[in-house]
Amino acid sequence: MRDLASIQKDFLNGVLKENKNKSLSVYRDLVVTNHLSALKDVYPVCLRIVGEKYFSYLSEIYLEKRPTNEPDLNVYGHDFSDFLLNEITEREELSELGYLSEVTEFEWNIYSASRKDFVPNSPEEIISKIVSNENVDVIFILNPSLSLSVFNYPIIEIWKEHQNEEVGKIELINSKNYVVVWKHNKDVVYQNIDENEFNFLNLLSQKKSFNELSEIYSDKEKELENFIATSINNGWIVDIEIIV
């Protein structure tokens, strides 16, 4: 007699792969449909690009290859972009859609930012905190919804074009695009930034302290000041933490 662990193993294998077992195929259909609809909610642009039928197909393969251990279905699909990156290299039919993985990464960033809930400090509050802690080292706290990506395609343009009823021609110029996505006053916003700003935000995400940053920017003090000011004004920096 099989024990509970092997019964569950056999059952899962039956659900995750196409099978002829009628009663398990009911579960398979339910599971496939449920996960497909979760992916559709997060990736409407990807769905539009590849079409309904192919998206369903990809969703089934994704489920089979990368089943999650996360009970919260709201975070299902977090590595769909990485999955697509692999599929693009392996599938002839996707060879023209090199940007697909990047578009889905952008869609995931938008989706995740929209779900983040936090109470930000105003720029004035942050600045007054900085001023009153002038003599101690601090860490700048990044907006918890903020994500940074480097894309090889003009992803914001591609994404925007797919919000229109008719998708026009997009010029796929291959160049580095540094993109930041964050939630600001209840809205999700995104922006192309330059490489220097990107590097600065990256340092903040590594929790570099003000003293450490000053060292890195020792010959570019003014630049550092500007970065900090811009980051506070844009809502990228939302707080500071004093290092004890």
Partner 1 sequence: MFKFDNTSRRSNLKSGIGLRDPHLEQIIEEKPNIGWFEIITDNLINADEKTLQMLEKIRSDYPFSLHSVGTSIGSVDDLNFDYLKELRKLSERLEPFSVSEHLCWSGAHGVHLHDLFPLPMTEETVLHVAERVEQIQEFFGHEILIENVSAYTDFVESEMSEPEFITQIARKSGSGILLDINNIFINSKNLGLDAKKYVSEVPKNLIGEMHLAGGEQREGYILDSHNCRVWDEVWDLYEYALGSYGQIPTLIEWDNDIPELSVLIDEAANANRRIDSICVI
Which chain residues interact with partner 1 by CB under 8 A?
1-5, 7-9, 11-12, 15-16, 22-24, 26-27, 30-31, 34-35, 67-74, 76, 115, 117, 119
Closer residue to partner 1, CB minimum distance, 14 or 123: 14
Smaller CB separation from partner 1, 22 or 222: 22
Report in angstroms the alpha-carbon separations of 227 from 61, 67, 87, 158. Answer: 43, 41, 38, 28
The Cα–Cα gap between 181 and 183 comes to 7
Buried b (16+ CB within 10 A) or exposed e, 24-39: beeebeebbeebbebb
CA dihedral of 49, 53, 56, 57, whole degrees rounded to 10: -100
Tell me whether residue 4 or residue 131 sits nearer to partner 1 (CB atom). 4
Closest distance to partner 1 from the beta carbon of 117 (Å): 4
- Tell me whether residue 114 or residue 152 sits nearer to partner 1 (CB atom): 114
Q: How far is the CB of 75 from partner 1 (least distance, A)?
A: 9
CB of 139 to partner 1, least distance (A): 25
CB of 230 to partner 1, least distance (A): 27
Distance CA(41)–CA(192), nearest Å, equals: 25
**Residue bearing tokens 């919804």:** 145
Q: Comparing C-alpha atoms, which of 148, 123, 127, 147 is closest to residue 138?
A: 127
Question: DSSP string of 95-134?
Answer: TT-TTHHHHHHHHHHHHHHHH----PPPHHHHHHHHHHTT
Nearest distance from C-beta of residue 114 to partner 1, angstroms: 10
Instruction: Decide if 174 contacts 152 (C-beta within 8 A).
Output: yes
| Short-list 99, 58, 52, CA closest to 80 | 58
Min. distance of Cβ 159 from partner 1 in angstroms?
24
- Complex with partner 1: residue 2 or 20, whichever CB lies closer: 2
What's 144's DSSP letter?
A: T
Identity of the residue, 29 or 52, whose beta carbon is nearer to partner 1 in the bound complex: 29
